[in-house]
Amino acid sequence: MTAAEAARAPRPASEDAFQRLMALCADDLERVNALIADRMASEHAPRIPEVTRHLVEAGGKRLRPLLTLAAARLCGCKGDAHVKLAATVEFIHTATLLHDDVVDESAQRRGRPTANLLWDNKSSVLTGDYLFARAFQLMVETDNLRVLGILSDAAATIAEGEVMQLATAGNLATGEAAYLRMIHGKTAALFAAATEVGAVIAGEPEPRIDALRDYGRTLGMAFQIVDDLLDYGGAAASMGKDVGDDFREGKVTLPVLLAWEAGDAEARAFWRRVIEKRDQREPDLAEALARMTETGALAETERRARTYCAEARDALAAFPPSPAREALDGIAEFVVARLS
């Protein structure tokens, strides 16, 4: 985490968990960063590293590659294949962000103007393609067909989830099952692959590979649900400055779905107007928050996130205590602590 990012980020007590994870994997993370810097280069197309650097240096948390590193460490992995896989995971994530920003017509990412705005959509689309290809080159270098299968499956599931998201926008008939499938695609699939490949590359027995995949998947589900909840200010429905983006875009997230399902005819007319028709006026966000609070939609959304986190922590029981297990356990706590 850069100093600037640390200053911006909320700092609950369990922020320490993230620092502990970074400290645990510090050496490996440095190797991952060096590998990323090396492989995002392009001798013949200088635009590529310019665009990538803009996003990479804005400094995401590197949460996904850290999950691969910690999973590999938990399984006693040596060598450098896990470093390559961590960089692979970050490249897939970065490529997805570049394409997401084009799809969402976003103007800001990580507190900076997006690449599609600074350069153009063309550069974002093609640089994303380049990073996808670089990701596959990196994982091929591990000589492990099983991790290639896991990560290419994840890439397909991610794209499928993103396309599902297009179809669910403004559609209150989405249903919880489709919402859960969509967030599995857009977020949990890469978390699951990130931890699973750490276990596979370490040659871990099957039950532990399953456990780490489950950990990543449930952590990812919790992470996305928390994100969706924070867009309405969390269970406390506090009106911070970043609240309401999803609302304004007519995104059908879990708080909306639950409030819609619990609503009477009058409530449904409200949701149809603001989400389906995106016919929104000044007091509508406050009214949406009130309705979400009254129906218990926000509290239920928080409960779901906490349940996924508990599942993630339970999955770690397959492993004996160790600093790596503790770090991963702390991350699961950290994800829901963003709500406090």
What number of other Cβ atoms are within 10 A of residue 63's Cβ?
21
**Pick from 7, 13, 68: which is nearest to 334 by CA?**
13
Residue 100, token pair as written in the block = 């997401």
Position 132 contacts its own copies (CB under 8 A): yes
Which residue, 131 or 305, has its beta carbon nearer to its own copies? Answer: 131
SS3 content of the chain, % helix, strand, coil (to 5): 75, 0, 25
Position 41 contacts its own copies (CB under 8 A): no
- Lookup result for tokens 């689309």: 125
Minimum CB separation of residue 230 from its own copies in Å reads: 24
Residue 67, token pair as written in the block = 């999950």
Which residue, 139 or 259, has its beta carbon nearer to its own copies? Answer: 139
Q: Interaction with its own copies in 174-203: which residues (CB under 8 A)? A: 178, 181, 185
Residue 176, token pair as written in the block = 């919880």
| Candidate segments 17-25, 39-47, 250-258, 275-283, binder of its own copies by CB under 8 A | 39-47
Position 167 contacts its own copies (CB under 8 A): yes
Q: Which of 33, 106, 121, 171 binds its own copies (CB under 8 A)?
A: 121
Partners of 108 in beta bridges:
113
Position 319 contacts its own copies (CB under 8 A): no
Position 130 contacts its own copies (CB under 8 A): yes
Position 160 contacts its own copies (CB under 8 A): yes
State in Å, rounded, how far the first CA of the chain is from the last one: 21
Position 125 contacts its own copies (CB under 8 A): yes
Minimum CB separation of residue 180 from its own copies in Å reads: 11
- Lookup result for tokens 């990701």: 135
Which residue, 181 or 213, has its beta carbon nearer to its own copies? Answer: 181
Q: Which of 6, 16, 19, 42 binds its own copies (CB under 8 A)?
A: 42
Which residue, 120 or 294, has its beta carbon nearer to its own copies? Answer: 120
Minimum CB separation of residue 252 from its own copies in Å reads: 15
Binding mask 134-153 for its own copies (x = CB under 8 A): x-xx--x--x-x--xx--xx
Instruction: Using CB atoms within 10 Å of the CB of residue 166, give its burial: 0 to 12 exposed, 13 to 18 middle, 19+ buried.
Output: exposed
Position 106 contacts its own copies (CB under 8 A): no
Position 126 contacts its own copies (CB under 8 A): yes
223 residue type, one letter: F
Q: Categorise residue 321: left if φ over 0, alpha if ψ from -120 to 50, beta otherwise.
A: beta
- Lookup result for tokens 């503790």: 326
Position 155 contacts its own copies (CB under 8 A): yes
Position 2 contacts its own copies (CB under 8 A): no
# binding residues, its own copies (CB under 8 A): 43
5 vs 174: CA distance, rounded Å: 35
Helices 176-183 and 206-230: crossing angle in degrees, nearest 10, is: 110
Say whether 25 sits in a helix, a strand or coil: coil
Name the DSSP letter for residue 319: S
Q: Which of 5, 15, 162, 276 binds its own copies (CB under 8 A)?
A: 162
Q: What angle do CA 265, 295, 172 make, to 5 degrees?
A: 55
Pair 209, 77: CB distance under 8 Å: no
Q: Dihedral of the CA atoms 136, 198, 95, 174 (nearest 10)?
A: 120
Which residue, 73 or 181, has its beta carbon nearer to its own copies? Answer: 181
Minimum CB separation of residue 159 from its own copies in Å reads: 4
Residues that bind its own copies (CB under 8 A): 42, 44-48, 99, 102-103, 121-123, 125-130, 132-134, 136-137, 140, 143, 145, 148-149, 152-153, 155-156, 158-160, 162-164, 166-167, 178, 181, 185
